Structure 1
């Protein structure tokens, strides 16, 4: 299996009015982006900690109606915040609203303020990973029972770089792995993920490799492609949502075709 080069954008739902976020989604789709992500937090991660912020999944439902071509999803959903069966049903619903364009991005969670202020048990990194391991098969099982069923096999994207557990869960359950870090880190962890895929009987090429990018493509793109990445996501914050770097990556993608 080979994966086409794709470009994503994470529109961080912070420090902006919703009309500004909606306008940025429309501009990104018009520019030719492949995937539009938000994130699953309750407070800003950067800038004023009590600044404006919006919830992830209600926003994805709105994006499903406001867009027509791009895939949408969270980069990533925090597994701790919703019962796995409920999350599966939410994902199936947004999948139908969007006409089959949802990616279920998911991770174990890490932002302690979210947990403390919304009444979730923060636990430990190990307990949150164990919860994720239990949730992933429950989500897939619930999809098999829902009526109507999802419009397609909803792609699962797992974000994180833990070599023993997160990458193992990715090999077992995901179609996309989202990574962080430099080229050397990507190369090393790609090799570890390939090993986990072999252990569970999957072809490594069945897992698309995704990475966040913050530099122009002329500086990093070729090396990342050589390392195996095919989905490149630019993060953009509010309130202005400057898509200049994103458009450079889209132009780079188009120049390869």
Structure 2
């Protein structure tokens, strides 16, 4: 899964994502938020792959990730869509590859396959999946990435494009090495100092894997305002900035400011 054709990191345009957390909202409210996000001009609309809310009432309203992505593929017209991120522990990797290929076709080639090792133990326990250890979950992720690549090459019809793979997580010994080996996008969290360190480690793993570091788009979850947070992370090479929003209100006012900043720094 080479991302080299996506350009050198400093040459990439800034992009803005929004994560519409599928919690504490009716589906009508989520649907309206998707429409509003696309109308606001975001580049990517994400949900997340959990079975219960992560914030607020832990037993509040919540909806499943991939069923929703199939609906979003029909609903949206321009924005890319994806999960931030899919937990590989919930699904057979070959099935996940087929699910991603199908949503890719429904959307006309706008799916981003966000993927990670998983961490929220309640999801596993209540749905009957083995939680294992951090090490075993990373082993599952490593195996899954290889199997997904192989399944995509065997499917008929093939995906509409080389589906971009986004690996989420900042583990420096294993996750970032898997990112260097397989991913088109790396997604992380943290302040500028944390992100700078993760970028350095990822670059080192790219060298070890004989991968051009600029082949991997750098992505970060962000809070605050773009003229402060955005400028600092952009100087470090971050190009995809994602704002998380919870239901039921999904207030996009801050997202609109990030979109305006994107247009300004991109010269649009």
TM normalised by structure 1 equals 0.99
SS where residue 230 of structure 1 aligns? Answer: strand
Return the match for 1:8 from 5, 17, 23. Answer: 17
Matched with 2:33 is 24
- Higher alpha-carbon deviation: 147-156 or 194-203: 194-203
Unmatched 5+ stretches in structure 2: 1-7
CA apart distance, 1:201: 1.0
Q: 2:184 aligns with which of 146, 159, 175?
A: 175
1:140 matched to 2:140? The reply is no
Q: How many residues are aligned here?
A: 257
- Residue 197 of structure 1 aligns to a residue in which SS? helix
Counterpart mapping for 1:118-133 below 5 A: 118-133=127-142
Q: Tell me the C-alpha RMSD between the 2 structures.
A: 0.5
1:96 matches 2:96 = no
User: Is 1:222 matched with 2:231?
Assistant: yes
4+ runs deviating over 3 angstroms: none
Q: Residues 170 and 188 of structure 2 are in contact (CA less than 8 Å); yes or no, is this contact kept in structure 1?
A: yes
1:69-97 CA distance string (max 9 Å, x none): 00000000001000000000000000000
Higher relative contact order by CA 8 Å / sep ≥ 6: 1 or 2? 2
- In structure 1, C-alpha distance between the alignment counterparts of 2:211 and 2:142, rounded to whole Å: 18
Matches of 2:148 and 2:124, distance apart in 1:
22
Counterpart for residue 69 of structure 2 = 60
Shift of the alpha carbon at 1:141? 0.3
Residue 157 of structure 1 aligns to a residue whose secondary structure is strand
CA deviations 1:50-72 (Å, max 9, x no partner) are: 00000000000000000000000
Do structure 1's residue 114 and structure 2's residue 136 form an aligned pair? no
Normalised TM-score (structure 2): 0.95
Q: Report the CA distance between 1:232 and its aligned residue.
A: 0.2
TM-superposed CA distance for 1:160, in Å, is 0.2
Give deviations 1:97-137, integer Å, cap 9, x for gaps: 00000000000000000000000000000000011011101
Counterpart-to-counterpart distance in 1, 2:263 and 2:236: 20
For 1:254 and 1:225, how far apart are their aligned partners in 2? 14
The unaligned stretches of length 5 or more in structure 1 are: none
